[in-house]
Structure 1
């Protein structure tokens, strides 16, 4: 199955080729035609499986630039994810000139209001900022064709259920609704079946996606010696681009200072850093301007960065799902990935649970 057979136009196929994309991923192959036909979809697929294009491509095909209405709306839980989807959409805009608005907190609302003076066809937004616009009557969703909830599980987990329902109530009852999520919880299903029409379920198994191309290791250490152990591993691996995960903002602050003093090329992102600075850091990291990104889970939610070869779990994630989500940021698109998890004795139970769920005893890495 190729993009042409899925009904994607030549102009868009050419843009995909320029960006190094020639064949659809499983989630794209299974969903594009159905979305183009106007069906409601619940799709379960990990970050990094190409799900953003799975909904963006048919949305671009279905939008009519001559109609001065908001025709498609994509809701995401975080600003970072909204920025990423907007970047993908702007690439496709080269093939089809439609007007796109990114609406998220931390971005000057004045510039968004100015952009809204001309017709907008596609909006990519976080829930709070979108509802702000709806209350100001600066956005009208009454003619909306397609509504997408991306990372639906995270939207609910982060407490956006009421906002999601308010947004739905401001849209046309004839709309198409799409739910994309790394996991489809019972709460996602309840919300979906309440507001969707005969939704079709697409599930791309996470084991195939996440772990096959990823080499995993554990370093057993103590919290006092963890920093030295990390530096030993970084010196041995010298990765091209790596993300180092910390449990808290304070831990990432401390680690950035310590690594910087030791001469490592690193920057941190977490939710206390102002949005404009986070955007600059992420752009700089994507461009390969520095080697190590130190991140908390919240700040890194939904990040999809090409070229990350190594993931270091400086602190063990709180859940098995968190572990899979973190390490899934490497080993993308058939490339090999490498991960290293640093554990001290108090992490033993969590480590055993991770190994039980992924059905794999993670090899121990011995350090000199």
Structure 2
């Protein structure tokens, strides 16, 4: 079934347009996964030196050619490697032969210059944020101001060391087969990865997995021998802060090391190398939404298949900690209360006291019988976990000493003021000294980095730790930018009615929209984002019957928001994943983390509240390096003050796409014809929003749309709603005259119902007044003497 043919059944397209449609249909995210999921890395140092003067170091002629086959070391030195058939069979079977592993790693180990070249070609930058080094001595001939001298004197007086950002270059992971040969991960885990078709790692996996699995060589910094020795010791056990594009495989990058370390620790306990672990979860993954948490659980269960590791989603009533201090306090308080009641009320009834004691015993046994959750990896939302570990009647939380790994997915939201207290409460409850923390997101503000550093240091002081692991920052590509493999469109619709008509034209294209000027077409399935829940419901009601019956009718469009029950939300997600739903209307609930690999486009029906929101919204398409995704953003007159921020993100993404994509991917109608959506004159003409305007937009959205709190068929807009601008922001194509008549009919109907209700109440009151029990006198005026 071709949705484009069904939606354009009444349109006479030219043969050239039809041919271009067929050609473009071969390059959409829904057509399948690309052979190479990487976004960058198509250029070597010679070609990339044109873009940056800093990359002109070294000898360009010595740069080897890259091999594109997944089985070979395509980031190596380009020389042929003579591997015996026996070694190859042992490697495929996962035999942990130490001699073979040592020899293979020696062959696979790259030089420092090769590591730098590979990481830079993939736009990877790894930095230690809390590395320490001796303060540099002042140069005698250097002229410095008095203010600078005073600052340095204060710094030297406070401490002899200062923190520096040290860049490191670990051995990159060139193939998933190296997880077994180089890092000796579990054979079952390696088999599960191979069964799911993972062969070539993405950029975040290429640089993140060596850090989290413990790189055993090839680490060098840019700060000299002192940094080199410090880095080699620290990166085997590191806290990680990762900023990587949407759809780049961050979930796989943090699940593989956690599962592998749990299996390794189990083996060590079995061999009596380590002591038995405490009861409770070993790793906690915190996600902002239930949909994202459910997705992480599904991915974790696929990787943990056959390993005995339990990956569970947090639910109400679960007990994540082995001991709760409030249980013991309640028991002691109950005992004191019992002894006091026995001394004060010695002559009380014996049966009552027995019942009271029995109830207390039942409550105690219920507390003691409350089992600890039998899960190794627990995936939760912040508020649900905080309620599970909160002490009754206190602001403190129960400790979780069994947790060794804390993962914050979409960390910029979890450490935002909305979730910050909840997330930090979970973080502080993990009191294991060997706790490792990793933060992951596609957008990360500098304030989040500072908060993570301060939390790690304050936790070390609270737990009296002599040392703590370094915090490494991994940045893939350009920080806080959209993915470069999708096309962006910024369309001015003037009014709300114009936006609705533009969306209907996307559903029913009436002309060729595959021209070079307008970019690739937007084809189902796609996601439509709105600002509020009422607007999502209203838009769903307007478009419910726009899809023809031949294409499935109203079953092809659905709405998803947080007011729906968990069952309905799961049902809509399942229908959208299996292709039953073509158009999904939602809020920012699905803007982060949720992986829909076959989504061909995203429509920002309401303007995003921030640049980060735009990056995450458009990241629902173009997952895992798929080309052909389209991101359409509609804006009206009310959105013009906030457009410049999004326009800058689009301009940066298109520039990065022009620099990288044509040489990295095969030439095609999408990658070879990249036009600029944002013109320089538009950026100059758009107003620059102030910091206060950005904060207001992020908190409340566009104010003109907040007054529209009801959908079509209700009284939104009547009365005060229409006077304060609610009628202009309403999602509807009805004229003002028709809506006025409709409101009059509704008003007459409500007045009639009110009159009937008042008449029925008056009749009931009259009937009640006629009963002899209501008054002491009858109709004749004689006093009623009651019943005989």
Q: TM-score, normalised by structure 1?
A: 0.88
1:71–1:121 CA contact under 8 A, matched in 2: yes
Residue aligning to 2:570 = 279
* Pairing partner for 2:477 from 205, 215, 220: 205
**Contact preservation (8 Å) 1:49, 1:209:** no
Please tell me whether residue 52 in structure 1 is matched to residue 336 in structure 2.
Answer: no
Aligned equivalent of 1:80, options 291, 294, 298: 291
Q: Structure 1: any 5+ residue segments left out of the alignment?
A: none
Moved more, 113-122 or 259-268: 113-122
| Residue aligning to 1:254 | 538
1:148 aligns with 2:407: yes
2:529 to 245, 263, 272: 245
Q: 1:39 to 1:70 in 2, by over 3 A?
A: same
Q: Which moved more, 1:340-349 or 1:61-70?
A: 61-70
Q: Counterpart in 2 of 1:187? A: 447
Q: Deviations over 1:17-66 (max 9, x none)?
A: 33332221111111112212331111112331111111001111011357
Change (3 A) 1:357 1:284: closer
Higher-Rg structure is 2
Aligned-residue offset at 1:246: 0.9
User: How much is the aligned-residue C-alpha RMSD, in angstroms?
Assistant: 2.8
Q: Work out whether 1:2 is the aligned partner of 2:175.
A: yes
* Contact 1:271–1:299 under 8 Å retained in 2: no
The verdict on how the C-alpha distance between 1:101 and 1:308 changes in structure 2, with shifts beyond 3 A counting, is: same
Q: What CA distance in whole angstroms lies between the structure 2 residues aligned with 1:116 and 1:307?
A: 41
Change (3 A) 1:9 1:3: farther
TM-score (ref. length: structure 2): 0.43
Describe the SS at the equivalent of 1:261: coil
Deviation at 1:206, TM superposition (A): 4.5
- State whether structure 2 residue 522 is matched by structure 1 residue 311: no
Distance (whole Å) between structure 2 residues aligned to residue 136 and residue 34 of structure 1 = 36
Structure 2 counterpart of 1:16: 193
**Runs of 5+ in structure 2 lacking a partner?**
1-173, 215-236, 271-276, 322-368, 457-468, 510-520, 548-553, 655-675, 680-788
Q: Residue 121 of structure 1 is aligned with which of 373, 376, 382?
A: 376
Displacement of 1:212 after TM fit? 1.8
Indicate if the aligned counterparts of 1:320 and 1:353 stay in contact, CA closer than 8 A: yes
The offset of 1:220, in angstroms, is 2.5
- Between 145-154 and 237-246, the greater mean CA deviation after superposition: 237-246
- Once residues 208 and 128 of structure 1 are traced to their aligned partners in structure 2, the CA distance between those partners, rounded to angstroms, is 27
Of 631, 635, 643 in structure 2, the residue corresponding to residue 339 of structure 1 is 631
Give the alignment partner of residue 39 of structure 1, picking from 238, 246, 249.
238
Q: Could you say which structure has the higher strand fraction?
A: 1
SS in 2 for 1:225: helix
**Are 1:101 and 1:112, in contact at CA under 8 Å, matched by a contact in 2?**
no
Preserved contact between residue 28 and residue 54 of structure 1 (Cα < 8 Å): yes
User: Would the aligned equivalents of 1:219 and 1:343 in 2 still touch at CA under 8 Å?
Assistant: yes
Helix, strand or coil for the counterpart of 1:191?
A: helix
1:301–1:334 CA distance, 2 compared to 1 (3 A): closer
3-state secondary structure, aligned to 2:312: strand
**CA distance in structure 1 between the partners assigned to 2:196 and 2:584 by the alignment:** 24
